[in-house]
Amino acid sequence: MLDFLVQSIQIKSMSIFEAGMLICFGASWPFAVLKTYKTKNVKGKSRLFLSLIILGYICGIINKILNSVDIVFWLYIVNLLLVSTDFALCLLYRSRQE
């Protein structure tokens, strides 16, 4: 476990462009979550779309675990949590609207 944490801190193998992509995506998800939470309106939100995004982040996490755990791994985790939160809100509010 300690070895896993030490490897995740190493920056030498980190992909700057992968990190940039995740930072950009990660910066937009809190706004989507906040909008969903405030308006409680999920009209137009696609559960399939959110599910595919979640699956993509899970694949990225698995890739990092199998190949090179670095700081980007934690960006995948943060993004996964944000999208999962939006998905959960979508399920909660959709059931209330139907």
Distances (CA, A) of 96 to 36, 47, 60: 13, 15, 33
The reported pLDDT for the residue numbered 85 is 97
What pTM did the predictor assign? 0.80
Buried b or exposed e, range 9-22, using 16+ CB within 10 angstroms: eeeeeeeeebbeeb
List, for residues 11-43, the tens digit of each pLDDT value: 555 688 889 999 999 999 999 999 999 999 998
How far apart CA 5 and CA 52 sit, in angstroms, is: 28
Q: How far is CA 36 from CA 28, 39, 41, 66, 81, in A?
A: 13, 5, 6, 34, 15
